């Protein structure tokens, strides 16, 4: 499969999984966390899909056009390894959906970061919250869910926080 085809499928999977999450967190109160602003594409889709929820975005160096950035007080700038632990403590149990799209283009590093960060994310998730993203996460207290059949294995990962 060409790199272009693979990119298109990843974007389709991203859109479809975000759309799917809307139904999955209907009864879960809380905010949305977006990891990785990039060009603001998935952020824009999240704010459109969840108009009644606050969407907070984490990124090292935001470069998206201003119209595709969140308000300043919902943009957490810095290395997620530094910013997430404090944010998770301050928002314990308040995140209904976490969308993970942090990347540097170096797959092995990105996979490792997703794994390392998983522990820090855990306290933020509300009971029955959904975490999803481009890389496998290993957030304690969550269980992996099947992605829709058309997405194909390994393209997107979805987890539900266990209820308490």
Ligand X SMILES: C[S@@+](CC[C@H](N)C(=O)[O-])C[C@H]1O[C@@H](n2cnc3c(N)ncnc32)[C@H](O)[C@@H]1O
Positions touching ligand X (CB under 6 A) are 36-42, 58-61, 79-80, 101-104
Residue whose beta carbon is closest to ligand X: 38
Shortest spacing between CB 103 and ligand X, in angstroms? 4
Q: What are phi and psi of 74, to 5 degrees?
A: -120, 15
Q: Work out how close the CB of 163 gets to ligand X at its nearest, in angstroms, rounded to a whole number.
A: 28
- Contact, 41 vs 18, CB < 8 A? no
Q: Give the distance, in angstroms, between the CA of residue 146 and the centroid of all CA atoms in the same chain.
A: 17
What is the C-alpha separation between 12 and 17, in angstroms, rounded? 8
Question: At residue 59, what are phi and psi to the nearest 5 degrees?
Answer: -160, 150
Minimum CB distance to ligand X smaller for 112 or for 162? 112
Instruction: Give the nearer residue to ligand X in terms of CB position, either 41 or 53.
Output: 41
Query: Shortest Cβ distance from residue 27 to ligand X (Å)?
Result: 26
Q: Are 95 and 30 in contact (CB under 8 A)?
A: yes
Question: Given the complex with ligand X, which of 112 and 143 has the nearer CB atom?
Answer: 112
For ligand X, give the closer residue by CB, 45 or 127.
45
Per DSSP bridges, beta strands 31-35 and 55-59 are parallel
Minimum Å gap between C-beta 7 and ligand X is: 11
């Amino acid at each position: 499969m060409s790199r272009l085809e693979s990119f298109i499928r990843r974007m389709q999977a991203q859109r479809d999984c975000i759309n799917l999450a809307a139904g999955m967190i209907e009864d879960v109160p809380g905010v949305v966390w977006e990891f990785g602003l990039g060009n603001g594409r998935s952020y824009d889709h999240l704010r459109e899909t969840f108009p009644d929820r606050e969407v907070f975005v984490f990124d090292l160096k935001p470069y998206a056009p201003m119209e595709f950035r969140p308000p300043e007080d919902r943009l957490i700038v810095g290395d997620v390894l530094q910013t997430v632990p404090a944010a998770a403590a301050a928002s314990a149990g308040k995140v209904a959906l976490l969308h993970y799209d942090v990347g540097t283009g170096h797959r092995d590093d990105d996979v490792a970061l997703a794994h390392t960060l998983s522990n820090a994310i855990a306290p933020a998730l509300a009971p029955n919250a959904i975490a999803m993203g481009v890389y496998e996460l290993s957030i304690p207290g969550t269980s992996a869910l099947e992605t829709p059949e058309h997405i194909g294995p390994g393209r997107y990962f979805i987890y539900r926080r266990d209820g308490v």
